[in-house]
Each structure stands twice: as structure tokens, then as C-alpha cells.
Structure 1
Amino acid sequence: MIVLAIDTAGTGCFAAVYDSATDTVVASAGADIGRGHAEQLMGFIDEALAAAGKVLADIDRIAVTVGPGSFTGIRVGVAAARGFALALNVPAAGITTLAAIAEAAREAHPERAILATIDAKREELYCQSFEADGTPRSEALMLEIPEAQRLFADFDGLICGTAAKHLTDPPLENAAQTDLTDIRLVGRLGAAADPSQGKPSPLYLRGPDVKSQAGFAVARA
């Protein structure tokens, strides 16, 4: 299966052509851009396809990160994935960033349960636990640090991700310091996903930072 994998849920903007038969990325393109996902994503997709020697008609499935992460980035990636899936008449799978983090940890530690974490800032964490086989053990949650520490105090597996330092005693010295997702694992999880799960939808866990200033609204005539 040839999967077009898209990741715009964090500061990175990446696209890759993934081959599930060999569990490899045939070609990829992208960069850690911070902002501007909408302006650059299509160019990265074209670049990845060209480098792989593929065209859109060769794609069997779309996989996209759906969050939690950057509110605007998630919207851009999900909209693109749903548009391609509709145009190509292929399934699209939404992959959470927490699932991708857990999959990376499972590759290195295949026999252990995983607690995937992301630093959500504002003294809050995104967390989700997974069994050793990758099955979710809990829902994806946004928790204040003390609540997360209480909830996962007796976690019996490996804690990983950018917020792991808040949940281990002593703090992990080598905890990940980036929210960049391995695009190969997005492709792998997308290829393994149930195509009947429906269209990918954003997983925000937190509302947008920008809110309308209702007190300054002008009354309609």
C-alpha cells in the first residue's frame, strides 16, 4: 500500500510517500517551519511525490496527524487530507500525535506499555497511555501537571515525549525536547488503520488561543 502521509500538527510541516510493504518512506519533504503550514504544505507534497516518482493516482491512502498540537496546523493538514481523499476516492486516516510518539517508543521498547506526553504549555500536559501492542489504554487527555502526576504516579511502563520530565522522579535527563513527529510512523499507523473509522477530525483538547472580542462587536443594522 502506498500512503501519502501528512504532518502539520506541530511546528513541522512534512509530507511523505510511505510504502507499507517495506515499512519505508520512499521520499519525503518538509521542514520545521513554525508557522505558514497552509502556504507550504502543497509544495512539500508535490516535492515528495516527485522525489518518489509517484503521482496522486498512485496513492492508496492518506494519513494525517490530527493533534493535539498547533490549532491552525491541525486544521490545514486535516482539510488537505480530506480533500485529497475525496478527490482520489481513497480512505483517509487520522493519526494522533500521541499515538505517533507511542509508536516510536514501542519500536525501541516493544515489550513495554507506553505513556506518551506532550508539553501543552501553561502548566498543562497532553497525555495518553498505550498497551505494549499499541492499543490505547486511556483516552487522550489534557491535564494540569499535578493532576497528571497523581493520575500516572503508578504507571507501569515507559514514559516518553516532551512532557515526560514532569512525570518521572527524578526527571528524565534525555526526555525528548521536540514535538516533531516521525513521518514514517504516521504512514505506518495510517496503513494499519481501519478504513471504516470515518473521516479524520481534529483532536484539539484545547480551544483556540484567539477569541472574538464580543465586547467590541458592532451591532448589525
Structure 2
Amino acid sequence: MIILALDTAGVACAAALYDSGGKAMLGEASDMIGKGHAEHLMGIIDRVLDAADMAPSAIGRIAVTVGPGSFTGIRVGVAAARGFALSLGVPAVGVTTLETMAAARLDEKPGRPVIAAMDAKRGEIYLQQFSPDGVAVSAPRAVLLDEAKALVDGFDGEIVGSATSLLRPDESVDHLDRFPISVVARLGAVAPVLQKPKPLYLRGPDAKPQDGFAVARV
């Protein structure tokens, strides 16, 4: 089965084609754009299809990062994945950014439990713990920094993500929130098809409407 994987949850806009039968990447493209995913994504997908010399009709499943991450970026990716799935008549699945980071770390350092931890700002951390074989042992959640520190106190395993420096300040390595599109594709190939992918928002958007300027409905 050919998987089209999409990621717009962070500063990158990425797509990849993955052959789950042969366990081989057929092509991938990723641009660090920060913003503007809606305008950039279709071009990225075209590049991947051209590189693999493949028509959209060959795609058997869509996988997309659903968050946590950029509020707007996630909406763009999920909408595109659902649109492609509908037009091609194939299933779409969601892959979280936390499980993607954890799986990528386990590829580098197998055999140890992993906590994926993203700096959510405003004194909060998005985190989730995974076993050494990549199985989630807790639900993704947003917690206050002090609670996160208590959760990782004495944790004998790997921590990955932008919150690592907050939770283990003695580590000098730079930690960024990276969601390798090849890992998204691989996880998407085995993800159960339960429902249409939808954004995983662990808290509301930072920008909220001002009630004083709301227009009354008639």
C-alpha cells in the first residue's frame, strides 16, 4: 500500500510517499517555512508525486500529523488529508506529533522508555510517555511545568522535544520539536482506521474573539 504522509504541525511543510509493503520511502520533500502552509502544501505534494513518478490514484492511504502543534497549521494539514481521502476514496489516519518524536528517538536509541515533551509556553508542557517498544503508556496532555518536572523526576529514560531543557536543564544538547515525515509515514501505515483524523488540541487557541465587538445575530 502506498501512503501519502503530510505534516504541517510545526515550522516545516512536508510530504512523503511510503510503500508499506516494501517498507521503503519513495520520495519526500520538506521546506522550513514557519507560516503559510495552506499556500505551500499542494506544491510540496506535487514535488513528491513527481519525484516518485506516481499518480495520485496509486495512493492507498493518507496520514497526517494532528498535533499538538501550530493551531492553524494543523487545521490546514487535516483539511487537506480529509479532502484527498474523500476525492481518492481511501482512508485517512491521524498521527500525533508526540508519538512521531518518540518513535524517531527510539530509532536512534532503542530499548529505553521515552517521554515526548513540547514547550507549550505560558508555563505549560505537552507530554506523553511511551514504552521502549513505542507503545503509549499515558495519554497526551498539557500540564504545568512544575507538574511535568515531578512526573519526570527519577525517570530513567529518554526525553525528547523542546521542553527537554526545561525538564533536564543539565542537558546541553539543543532540543527542537521535529516531526520527521518518514516517521509519520511509517506510523500512518500501521495506524488503525477508526475515524476521520481531527486536530488534537490540548488547549484552546491563543487568539480569542473580543466579546465586546461581537455582532448580534438576527
Q: Under a length normalisation based on structure 2, what TM-score does the superposition of the two structures give?
A: 0.95
The alignment covers a number of residue pairs equal to 218
Change (3 A) 1:217 1:57: same
Secondary structure at the residue paired with 2:77?
A: helix
Per-residue deviation, 1:7: 0.1
Amino acid at match of 1:31: D
Secondary structure at the residue paired with 1:134?
A: coil
Secondary structure at the residue paired with 2:66?
A: strand
CA contact (8 A) 1:57 1:88 kept: yes
For 1:107, the equivalent position in structure 2 comes to 107
CA contact (8 A) 1:160 1:175 kept: no
For 1:171, the equivalent position in structure 2 comes to 170
For 1:12, the equivalent position in structure 2 comes to 12
CA contact (8 A) 1:63 1:92 kept: yes
Identical aligned pairs, as a percentage? 54
Output the CA distance in 1 between the equivalents of 2:210 and 2:5. 37
| Structure 1 segments (4+ residues) deviating >4 Å | none
For 1:205, the equivalent position in structure 2 comes to 202
Q: 1:1-221 counterparts in 2 under 5 A?
A: 1-168=1-168, 170-176=169-175, 178-195=176-193, 197-220=194-217
Amino acid at match of 1:215: G
Change (3 A) 1:56 1:219: same
Q: Under a length normalisation based on structure 1, what TM-score does the superposition of the two structures give?
A: 0.93
CA contact (8 A) 2:101 2:177 kept: no
Which runs of no fewer than 5 residues in structure 1 stay unpaired? none
Amino acid at match of 2:185: G
Secondary structure at the residue paired with 2:206?
A: coil
Per-residue deviation, 1:20: 2.1
Which runs of no fewer than 5 residues in structure 2 stay unpaired? none
Query: CA deviation digits over 1:6-40, x for unaligned, max 9?
Result: 00001111111112234332112231111111111
Per-residue deviation, 1:220: 4.5
- CA RMSD across the alignment: 1.4
Per-residue deviation, 1:218: 3.4
Amino acid at match of 1:14: A
Output the CA distance in 1 between the equivalents of 2:125 and 2:108. 23
- With 21-30 and 36-45 compared, the bigger mean Cα shift is at 21-30
